[in-house]
Chain A
Amino acid sequence: MRDVDLRIAPGERVLLTGRSGAGKSTLLRALGGLLEPENGDVEGELTVDGEPPDRSRQRVGMVFQDPDSQLVMTRAGDDVAFGLENVGMPRDRIWPAVDAALDAVGFGLGRDRATAALSGGQKQRLVLAGALAPHPGLLLLDEPTAQLDPDGAALVRAAVDRAVADRSATLVVVDHDLEAWLPLVDRVVELLPGGGLTEHPSSWTPPPLRFPVRRAGLPAGEALLRAEAVGYTHRGSDRPALAPTDAALLAGRTLAVTGPNGTGKSTLALLLAGLRAPTSGQLRVGPTLRAGLRRPDRPPARWRAAELVERIGTVFQQPEHQFLTGRVRDELSLGPLRAGADRTSAGRRADDLLERLGLAPLAEANPFTLSGGQQRRLSVATALATRPPVLVLDEPTFGQDRDTWAELVALLAEQQADGRALCLVSHDAAVVDALADDVLRLGNPVPAS
């Protein structure tokens, strides 16, 4: 981030946007007084209420992405009280302030509710209450809905709307979901990658998502993988995580799996990916996928990992779970090597993918140091490296900015055109719209135990 000149008036609401890597989170952390000057070069001046931000920290409330790494206490009320205790508020004033903050975000479950038992949206609402309780003059939100499903995200936005309604707090929010936040803000500040910024009024319409040209529907190819009444129940649980479900993955087609939380979408993805064995029903494997297996009679969950990686590629929700090496290039050649390719051809495959996905300048970088969008592209690329006929993706567009989103959709459309079968688990209606040939909607949510 550089050359940023910005003045935000008290009570104003600003949405901060910009390409991934433009410095949105850095600016937010700087405002919150959380940047350590020794870890970088500082230019220019930043003041909050006319003071350096590390001195005004007590007047600032912050909310980050992951609710689980922001809650401290075991009970909802205690957690909201935590910030008030830290600033030494006397006990008799704490509880009225806690109740007011819980009320301000519409958290209706009571002070004694265990924080561990809350849904993601409820947890994030509680985090927001904790940030609001000390009556901050400045509220900073760093992608507060990026890890939530659409219902949870709506819940949090409604809570923010309610909390800033009286204009006693200034709001700066960073989020990739521009449309959803526009009605809540006064203006949009877009940070530019090379430095500087441009501003937009709240009536601004963000440029439309770039959809790939939809190809004419190919005739459905061979059934590569067919799930027959597969279901899954966790050991020791009496409720199934996935009720018996039929699904077919056909060559050249995309099956989207949608439905509310708790219906077993991710579980179905794990079963189709050969990572868990169904506890009821069975997976039928088509001849293309079965060819060359050492034990063709075995179900995917019992294939050797080297056989699996050549046949079914899986992309997990959190890219970081998938990274195994210290270099982007090694990460891409790992799959082919495991599947038995020699070093030269694995290296060539890696270079091809680096070039095609625009990751070539990062070939020597550590995967864990990439930005969120780059990590996502890399995790899809690792699944493509072994050219598996089947691709299973769990929320691939989760928390991605518009550019990464468009790149991903184009990349996946290409895989479809190459005759791969895709299974796409997603809450994101736009990606389902852009890619899916068939939609499997899981219903009747199984209550979380």
Chain B
Amino acid sequence: MTAPLTLGPAREVPLSAINPVAQLSAIAVLTVVLLVSGDLVTPSVVLAAELALLPAAGLTTPRSILHRTWPLLLSAAGVAWVNVAFGTLDGAAAWLSGATWGLRVIALALPGVLLVSSTDPVRLADALTLHWRVSTRFAYGALAALRLVPLLATEWQTIRLARRARGVDAGASPGGRLRLFAGTAFALLVGAIRRGSRLATAMDARGFDCGVPRSNARGSALHRRDTWFVVGAVVVCASAVTLSVQTGHWSPVFG
């Protein structure tokens, strides 16, 4: 029932061999280029490279790809449609602008999907704290909190049933529905805060953030392949821009 929410160790896929900070660096490179470019050619080339990586992230069947990307595809379609319908351009130009925007959104967000499907949350926290000096309190605190998210779905169900058992339901009016929703959400929030503070106490009791420099049991090794991965991202972007300039499509957003 709550399977898509379950936070477990991620499945090992070929892309998992790339350190999360290398993936994040590559994403940063792509993001800058995609935000600057305003044409159709640049995002197309970048997107082609990203699509080639889908199998490496374990996304091989159309079903698994759709499962991970449907919110993204939906928002890309929305952005494209808004541009066609409400843009200042007409005819073919409007469609071109819509397609450009849709492609940019997909090309911008797909690397995030790749990162999420190939990266164990614990490895991400390890990499961020060890290589980028992200605060351990923040990284591991967030990790612990994330573990509690799947519990919220069951909790919601229970609170709803308990309210009905007490004689409280929405009744016929839409206002009643809203009140019930607000009441249930409030109870859920109160419960989540109580559980969160219990978790914080338990982490304190285990010496978390006690002033001693923290060690790391798993480590987070950077290899030569991680450098090559970032170089690869730079090469893809450079080729995309070169192709775009040479075919005369290049039209930077700030320029």
- A residues sitting closer than 8 Å to B (CB atoms) are 32, 34, 57-58, 60-62, 64, 66, 68-75, 78, 81-91, 94-95, 98, 112, 114-117, 130-131, 134, 234-237, 270, 273, 275-276, 304-306, 308-310, 312-314, 316, 318, 320-322, 324, 334-335, 338-339, 368, 382-383, 386
B169 interface hit (Cβ, 8 Å) = yes
Cross-chain contact A335 with B161 (CB below 8 angstroms): no
Cross-chain contact B120 with A74 (CB below 8 angstroms): yes
Which of chain A's residues has its CB closest to B219's CB? A91
B224 interface hit (Cβ, 8 Å) = no
Cross-chain contact B167 with A339 (CB below 8 angstroms): yes
Cross-chain contact A275 with B165 (CB below 8 angstroms): yes
B252 interface hit (Cβ, 8 Å) = no
Residues of A contacting B248 in the complex (Cβ-Cβ under 8 angstroms)? none
Which of chain A's residues has its CB closest to B3's CB? A236
Q: Which 7 A-B pairs have the closest CB atoms?
A: A338-B167, A309-B167, A305-B169, A81-B217, A314-B165, A86-B207, A69-B198
Cross-chain contact B168 with A324 (CB below 8 angstroms): yes
Cross-chain contact A72 with B140 (CB below 8 angstroms): yes
Residues of B contacting A91 in the complex (Cβ-Cβ under 8 angstroms)? 215-217, 219
Residues of B contacting A89 in the complex (Cβ-Cβ under 8 angstroms)? 215
Cross-chain contact B202 with A275 (CB below 8 angstroms): no
Which of chain B's residues has its CB closest to A338's CB? B167
B102 interface hit (Cβ, 8 Å) = no
B95 interface hit (Cβ, 8 Å) = no
Cross-chain contact B148 with A68 (CB below 8 angstroms): yes
Which of chain B's residues has its CB closest to A337's CB? B167
B199 interface hit (Cβ, 8 Å) = yes
| Given A69-B199, A114-B9, A309-B167, CB of A88 within 8 Å of CB of B218 | no
Interface members, chain B 170-191 (any A CB < 8 Å): 171, 183, 187, 190-191
Distance, CA A309 to CA B203, complexed state (A): 41
Which of chain A's residues has its CB closest to B10's CB? A74
Residues of B contacting A61 in the complex (Cβ-Cβ under 8 angstroms)? 205
Residues of B contacting A68 in the complex (Cβ-Cβ under 8 angstroms)? 148, 151, 195
Min CB–CB distance A289 → chain B (angstroms): 15
Cross-chain contact A94 with B217 (CB below 8 angstroms): yes
Residues of A contacting B208 in the complex (Cβ-Cβ under 8 angstroms)? 82, 86
Cross-chain contact A321 with B215 (CB below 8 angstroms): no
B35 interface hit (Cβ, 8 Å) = no
Min CB–CB distance A221 → chain B (angstroms): 23
Min CB–CB distance A69 → chain B (angstroms): 4
Min CB–CB distance B203 → chain A (angstroms): 6
B1 interface hit (Cβ, 8 Å) = yes
Min CB–CB distance A316 → chain B (angstroms): 5
Cross-chain contact A305 with B195 (CB below 8 angstroms): no
Distance, CA A134 to CA B210, complexed state (A): 14
- List, sorted by A's number, 23 A–B pairs whose CB atoms are closer than 8 Å: A34-B204, A61-B205, A64-B201, A64-B205, A69-B195, A70-B198, A72-B144, A74-B143, A78-B122, A81-B217, A84-B215, A86-B207, A86-B214, A91-B217, A91-B219, A115-B147, A116-B7, A131-B206, A235-B1, A305-B163, A305-B166, A310-B167, A334-B166
Cross-chain contact B203 with A58 (CB below 8 angstroms): no
Contact of B9 among A32, A74, A273, A308 (CB under 8 A): A74
B62 interface hit (Cβ, 8 Å) = no
Residues of B contacting A112 in the complex (Cβ-Cβ under 8 angstroms)? 9
Cross-chain contact A85 with B167 (CB below 8 angstroms): no
Residues of A contacting B212 in the complex (Cβ-Cβ under 8 angstroms)? 58, 86-88
Cross-chain contact A134 with B207 (CB below 8 angstroms): yes
Residues of B contacting A383 in the complex (Cβ-Cβ under 8 angstroms)? 165
Cross-chain contact A236 with B219 (CB below 8 angstroms): no
B71 interface hit (Cβ, 8 Å) = no
Query: Which bracket fits the contact residues of B?
Result: 35 or more
| Given A91-B216, A91-B219, A324-B183, CB of A334 within 8 Å of CB of B207 | no
| Given A88-B213, A130-B206, CB of A117 within 8 Å of CB of B8 | yes
Main SS of the interface on chain B? helix
Contact of A116 among B1, B6, B159, B167 (CB under 8 A): B6
Cross-chain contact A82 with B206 (CB below 8 angstroms): yes
Which of chain A's residues has its CB closest to B146's CB? A74
Cross-chain contact B162 with A34 (CB below 8 angstroms): no
Interface centre among A57, A90, A134, A368 (most CB of B within 10 A): A57
Min CB–CB distance A88 → chain B (angstroms): 5
Interface centre among B120, B206, B209, B213 (most CB of A within 10 A): B206
Min CB–CB distance B21 → chain A (angstroms): 19
Cross-chain contact A275 with B206 (CB below 8 angstroms): no
Interface centre among A57, A117, A305 (most CB of B within 10 A): A305
Cross-chain contact B161 with A64 (CB below 8 angstroms): no
Distance, CA A71 to CA B16, complexed state (A): 24
Distance, CA A61 to CA B202, complexed state (A): 10
Distance, CA A69 to CA B203, complexed state (A): 9
| Given A58-B210, A75-B9, A236-B1, CB of A95 within 8 Å of CB of B168 | no
Distance, CA A116 to CA B154, complexed state (A): 14
Give 5 new A-B contacts, CB below 8 A, not counting A69-B199, A94-B217, A386-B167: A69-B198, A69-B202, A117-B8, A273-B165, A338-B167
Which of chain B's residues has its CB closest to A312's CB? B165
Residues of B contacting A117 in the complex (Cβ-Cβ under 8 angstroms)? 8
Residues of B contacting A310 in the complex (Cβ-Cβ under 8 angstroms)? 167
Distance, CA A131 to CA B147, complexed state (A): 19
Q: B125-164 interface mask toward A, CB cutoff 8 Å, 1 = contact, 0 = none?
A: 0000000000000001001100110110000001101111
Which of chain A's residues has its CB closest to B7's CB? A74
Distance, CA A382 to CA B167, complexed state (A): 11
B111 interface hit (Cβ, 8 Å) = no
Distance, CA A324 to CA B186, complexed state (A): 10
Cross-chain contact B207 with A73 (CB below 8 angstroms): no
Cross-chain contact B215 with A85 (CB below 8 angstroms): yes
Distance, CA A115 to CA B122, complexed state (A): 13
Min CB–CB distance A263 → chain B (angstroms): 18
Min CB–CB distance B34 → chain A (angstroms): 32
Cross-chain contact A95 with B165 (CB below 8 angstroms): no
Distance, CA A316 to CA B148, complexed state (A): 21
Cross-chain contact A316 with B158 (CB below 8 angstroms): yes
Residues of B contacting A70 in the complex (Cβ-Cβ under 8 angstroms)? 198-199, 202
Min CB–CB distance A71 → chain B (angstroms): 7
Cross-chain contact B204 with A309 (CB below 8 angstroms): no
Contact of A382 among B6, B143, B166, B190 (CB under 8 A): B166
